[in-house]
Every structure is written in structure tokens, then in C-alpha cells.
């Protein structure tokens, strides 16, 4: 594992909405470069940038038309090269969002693939042999060209699935992962990775990494595929970080990823904590962390105690934390997020409690996610300092509430969400037990939530009480020093104040 991942705290940037420096209402790469010092001052030392390659933007850039070119609305490849260089000057690292599962229908590969005449791209995508046969279990494009067959889709109808083969082929058109077409797809993706890593990129967050090989129920063919990528990276770019969006860390780590990005859907119960009718981190104290912790422990044990599960504050695909949680609740949520193993990811604006903007018309495939993608709120000037464009020209409308949070006001308020997040990151960076590689042992999954983080000789007891009532727990540990929060300790019992957290050396 690259050494820098051991204490990495990521800041996720949705480039469209971060900072516009040319007045067109859309954020750009230069805007990210301009705000590197802000990100570093917050305490984040790594950045994940959502897709920024050329695209028709039917899915906000997750429909790539040229993997080796920065989308013109964001700037140029030179702008990206300069961003890498400026980040490295500050001791920071940048990973890009790699989307290997599909492209846009506008990608040159696909334009060649649809041709009736056999060519080197004919097998780049998943095609059936007949226009009348759809790929089993997948939506498809059909009747779009003279080629006889249907092309499998991932997600939207403009995202044809790239061909990595089928683990258990049962139709003549289904290739095996080691066949020539699927292997050519692998090599094309390696070439893309090589291009950006040579420019200065520090690695990739891989979109839906567990979905590449089709008809692979146990995931083992996909694991073997990524092991091939791991061999390539170890040989050419051993310091490149790889974080998977998979949701099954035992498989992703076996495949050679350094960390697995926790999914917000499926069996993780991640949103039991933050995004349900009764979130665990609500003051009402009616939620439950039990199923989340049970699943976390199951995954943790499968990986042999390697707690390399990245838990994000949110991302571009889910509601903002502040849609369900108030500022006090956000602080306890961040006490949890920033004291768990694996690299934490902070979605831009979550550090100031930016809200989900209700009632927006879908933008670039956002649909219900659009309200979580509104422009960053830097100050109280025009467009909150995001852009000099007319407000109606902004990529997505901003929160128009009179009390909307902004960075400038929160930086000067020691009781703000920003100040608390900055403090928590500082504590994490001062204690190796709190960083990515430290172990975790859960003691209580109720109210309060209690767990122990350990690394070498250091042991920290973490106690979090999101509820509006004091909570008391029996103590079987000697408290040496409280490093965060405060509590009453008496005769082997600890009383934790409402909506607060305590970190203690034991």
C-alpha cells in the first residue's frame, strides 16, 4: 500500500459545482487549483475528483467520450497537469474517477463497434449475435445500425457496457474473460491509467469495480481481472493508489485494491446511520446502528482484520447529510466518520453542512441526486462566491435560504460544523490509532456507540452519544487522558453529554 494512504483524509470534488474561475457558471480545474490551500487548511491531504473527461454529459461525466482528454468546459490537460503539480507541492495527492464499465455512445470505440464490418472494436462492447436476442438480465440498445445484434447497457440507455467477458458463458456470443476481445478492453483501460499516472495522477477511485465481468455470481472472475491490473500497476506504478467502489472489501482487497469504498445501497446498512426515517445520528435516539455494525464486522473479519473500508460523509449519488441531520447531529456524525478505519471521504460542502436543495429539475442525469450537486457556498457575495455568472447561468441553482451556510462565516465561528470537522481531522492526524490502518473493536452498538481503535501501543476508546439525553456506560478501562470532548467519570462509570462524543486514551 502507498504510504500516504495510511493517513489519507479525502475531499471529494464534483468539479461542475466547486469553483468557476471563468464566469460560465460551471466549475473547472483551475477552480480546484485555486482552492487547494483551503482543502489543506481543513486538514484533507487527498482529493478525489469525479469524472472530468470529455463527455456529452448525459450522466454528469460518467458517460465518457474520450478518456484521455479533460472536458473543455473544465479546462485542458495542461490545467490538470498543473493541478497535480500544485497538489504535490503541498504534500497532497489526487485520485481521478475511473469509469471502466461503460462509455458514452459518442465514444469512438462505440462508433466503430456498431459497424457491420468486423474491426478491432467489434468486440469492445457486449453484443449479442441477433437483433432479436437481448443480453440476459441487461437492458440493451437495438436497431441503431446495420450490425446484427443488441448491445448491452449499464444504467442509462447511452452507456453501452464494455466487454470484459462472461465468467460462465451460456450463449455463443458470450466471450470468456481471457478471449481476445475482453483482453483488448483490459489493455485499453491500462493504457488510460498509464496516461494519467505518467502525468502525475496518484491513483484512481474505480466506479462499480465489481461489475465488470458478467455472469460472475461469486465475483471470482472479476477478482482475477483486477489481480491482472494489480500486476500491471506493481510493475509500472507501484505507488498508485486504488480505491474500489465495490461494497465487498474481501473481494476488492483480494483483487489488489488498497481500500474499498462503502456503497450506499445493498446490504451495508450504511444509511441506517444517516439517511432513513430515524437515523442513528438523530437526536431523537430512535435509530439503530446494530445492523450496520454487524455487517461491518462481517466484512472486517472476511478481510482478516484489515479495516480498509472507506466510509464517506456522502457523495454525488446520495442525499446530503444535512437533509436529515442538524448541525449538532452533523458534528457527532463526523466524530464517527473521522474515527473509523480506512480513509474517510468528505463530500465537498458537507464540512459546512450544505443542504440538499429541494425541488430541482434533473440536470445531466442527476434526477433525485441533483439536489446534492448544487454549487459550493464560499461566502455571502454573488452566487456565494462560486461564480461571476448571472445566477440563472449556474450549473445547478444554489440554496436560496437566507440562513444557508458558507465557508467564510464558518471559518470564523469556533462552534461551526467546519471548525468541528477541522478539529476532528487534526486529532485523527495526531493519533496513529485513529488512522487508516488502526484496528477497531466494537464494544457497544447502542446509545452510546463505543469502540476501541488501536495501533502499536496506542489504544483509544471512542464513545459517541448522538441522542438528546445523557448516556451512561460501565467502564472496564482506565482512562489516562481525554483527547476530545468531555465526560463525567465516577466509580467505573462514564456519563456522556447529549449529542456529543468523547475520545480517550486507555
Domain boundaries defined on the chain: 3-100+182-430, 102-163, 439-505
DSSP 90-154: TT-EEEEEE--SB--TTSHHHHHHTSSS--TTTTSB-B-SSTT-PPTTS-EE-SSSSSSS-EEBS
pLDDT the model gives residue 492: 83
Q: Determine phi and psi for 160, rounding to 5 degrees.
A: -65, 140
pLDDT tens, residue order, the chain (506 aa): 999 999 999 999 999 999 999 999 999 999 999 999 999 999 999 999 999 999 999 999 999 999 999 999 999 999 999 999 999 999 999 999 999 999 999 999 999 999 999 999 999 999 999 999 999 889 999 999 999 999 999 999 999 999 999 999 999 999 999 999 999 999 999 999 999 999 999 999 999 999 999 999 999 999 999 999 999 999 999 999 999 999 999 999 999 999 998 888 888 999 999 999 999 999 999 999 999 999 999 999 999 888 899 999 999 999 999 999 999 999 999 999 999 999 999 999 999 999 999 999 999 999 999 999 999 999 999 999 999 999 999 999 999 999 999 999 999 999 999 999 999 999 999 999 999 999 999 999 999 999 999 999 999 999 999 999 999 998 888 999 999 999 998 888 999 999 999 999 99
Cβ atoms of 293 and 268 within 8 Å: the answer is no
C-alpha of 388 from chain center = 29
Tell me the H-state helices in 205-351. 220-236, 249-254, 271-274, 290-302, 327-337
Residue 403's Cβ-count burial label (10 Å; 0-12, 13-18, 19+) is exposed
pLDDT the model gives residue 256: 97
- Residues contacting 16, CB < 8 A, separation 6+: 26, 27, 60, 61, 364, 373, 395, 396
CATH 3.90.400.10 fits 102-163, yes or no: yes
Q: What angle do CA 74, 80, 81 make, to 5 degrees?
A: 160
Reference 158, options 74, 68, 57, 66; nearest CA is 57
pLDDT the model gives residue 356: 98
Which superfamily does 3-100+182-430 belong to?
Glycosidases (3.20.20.80)
pLDDT the model gives residue 266: 82
Question: CA 323 → CA 332, 356, 400, 462, distances in Å?
Answer: 15, 6, 15, 26
- What 3-state class would DSSP assign to 423? helix
- Cα separation, 405 vs 378, in Å, equals 9
Strand segments, DSSP code E, in 178-225 are 203-206
List b or e across 197-215, with b for residues whose CB sees 16 or more CB atoms inside 10 angstroms.
Answer: beebbbbbbbbbbbbbbbb
- What 3-state class would DSSP assign to 166? strand
Q: How is residue 263 written as a grid cell?
A: 456503497
Strand segments, DSSP code E, in 170-227 are 203-206
Q: How is residue 469 written as a grid cell?
A: 439525553
- Residues contacting 36, CB < 8 A, separation 6+: 83, 86, 87, 90, 92
Question: 439-505: which CATH architecture?
Answer: Sandwich (2.60)
Answer positive or negative: Cα dihedral of 300, 306, 307, 312: negative
Peptide bond into 234 cis (omega under 30): no
Q: What angle do CA 310, 376, 391 make, to 5 degrees?
A: 150
Q: In angstroms, what is the C-alpha Rg of the chain?
A: 23
Q: Do domains 3-100+182-430 and 102-163 have the same CATH topology?
A: no
List b or e across 254-283, with b for residues whose CB sees 16 or more CB atoms inside 10 angstroms.
Answer: bbbbbbbbbbbeeebbbbbbbbeeebbbbb
- Cα separation, 334 vs 434, in Å, equals 13
Reference 153, options 124, 174, 185, 127; nearest CA is 127
pLDDT the model gives residue 113: 98
- What 3-state class would DSSP assign to 380? coil
- What 3-state class would DSSP assign to 376? coil
pLDDT the model gives residue 211: 96
pLDDT the model gives residue 137: 86
Q: How is residue 185 written as a grid cell?
A: 478492453
Q: What angle do CA 183, 190, 14 make, to 5 degrees?
A: 125
Amino acid at each position: 500500500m502507498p504510504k500516504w494512504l495510511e493517513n489519507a483524509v479525502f475531499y471529494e470534488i464534483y468539479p461542475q459545482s466547486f469553483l468557476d474561475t471563468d464566469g460560465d457558471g460551471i466549475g473547472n480545474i483551475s477552480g480546484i487549483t485555486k482552492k487547494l490551500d483551503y482543502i489543506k487548511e481543513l486538514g484533507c491531504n487527498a482529493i478525489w475528483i469525479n469524472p472530468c473527461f470529455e463527455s456529452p454529459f448525459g450522466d454528469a461525466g460518467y458517460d465518457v467520450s474520450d478518456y484521455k482528454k479533460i472536458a473543455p468546459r473544465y479546462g485542458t490537460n495542461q490545467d490538470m497537469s498543473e493541478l497535480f503539480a500544485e497538489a504535490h507541492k503541498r504534500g497532497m495527492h489526487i485520485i481521478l474517477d475511473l469509469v471502466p464499465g461503460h462509455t458514452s455512445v459518442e465514444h469512438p470505440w462505440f462508433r466503430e463497434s456498431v459497424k457491420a464490418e468486423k474491426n478491432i472494436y467489434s468486440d469492445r462492447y457486449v453484443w449479442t449475435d441477433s437483433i432479436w436476442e437481448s443480453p440476459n438480465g441487461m437492458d440493451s440498445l437495438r436497431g441503431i445500425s446495420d450490425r446484427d445484434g443488441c448491445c448491452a447497457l449499464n444504467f442509462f440507455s447511452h452507456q453501452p457496457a464494455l466487454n470484459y467477458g462472461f465468467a460462465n458463458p451460456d450463449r455463443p456470443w458470450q466471450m470468456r474473460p481471457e478471449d481476445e476481445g475482453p483482453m483488448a478492453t483490459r489493455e485499453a483501460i491500462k493504457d488510460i491509467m498509464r496516461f494519467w499516472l505518467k502525468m502525475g495522477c496518484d491513483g484512481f477511485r474505480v466506479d462499480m469495480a465489481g461489475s465488470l465481468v458478467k455472469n460472475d455470481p461469486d465475483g471470482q472472475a472479476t477478482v482475477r481481472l483486477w489481480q491482472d491490473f494489480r500486476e500491471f500497476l506493481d510493475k509500472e506504478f507501484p505507488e498508485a493508489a486504488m480505491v474500489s467502489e465495490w461494497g465487498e472489501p474481501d473481494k476488492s482487497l483480494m483483487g489488489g485494491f488498497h481500500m474499498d469504498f462503502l456503497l450506499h445501497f445493498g446490504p451495508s446498512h450504511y444509511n441506517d446511520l444517516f439517511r432513513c426515517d430515524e437515523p442513528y445520528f438523530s437526536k431523537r435516539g430512535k435509530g439503530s446502528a446494530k445492523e450496520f455494525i454487524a455487517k461491518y464486522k462481517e466484512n472486517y473479519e472476511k478481510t482478516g482484520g484489515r479495516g480498509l473500508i472507506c466510509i464517506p460523509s456522502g457523495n454525488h449519488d446520495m442525499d446530503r447529510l444535512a437533509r436529515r441531520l442538524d448541525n449538532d447531529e452533523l458534528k457527532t456524525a463526523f466524530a464517527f466518520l473521522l474515527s473509523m478505519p480506512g480513509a474517510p471521504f468528505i463530500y465537498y460542502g458537507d464540512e459546512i453542512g450544505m443542504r440538499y436543495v429541494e425541488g430541482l429539475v434533473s440536470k445531466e442525469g442527476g434526477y433525485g441526486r441533483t439536489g446534492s450537486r448544487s454549487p459550493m457556498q464560499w461566502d455571502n457575495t454573488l452566487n456565494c462566491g462560486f461564480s461571476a455568472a448571472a445566477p440563472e447561468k449556474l450549473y445547478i441553482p444554489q440554496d436560496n435560504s437566507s440562513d444557508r451556510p458558507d465557508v467564510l462565516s464558518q471559518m470564523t465561528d469556533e462552534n461551526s460544523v467546519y471548525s468541528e470537522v477541522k478539529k476532528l481531522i487534526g486529532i485523527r492526524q495526531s493519533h496513529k490509532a485513529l488512522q487508516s490502518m488502526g484496528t477497531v473493536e466494537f464494544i457497544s452498538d447502542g446509545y452510546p456507540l463505543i469502540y476501541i481503535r488501536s495501533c502499536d501501543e496506542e489504544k483509544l476508546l471512542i464513545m459517541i452519544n448522538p441522542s438528546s439525553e445523557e448516556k451512561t456506560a460501565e467502564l472496564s478501562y482506565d482512562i489516562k487522558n481525554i483527547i476530545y470532548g468531555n465526560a463525567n467519570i465516577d466509580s467505573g462509570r462514564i456519563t456522556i453529554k447529549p449529542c456529543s462524543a468523547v475520545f480517550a486514551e486507555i
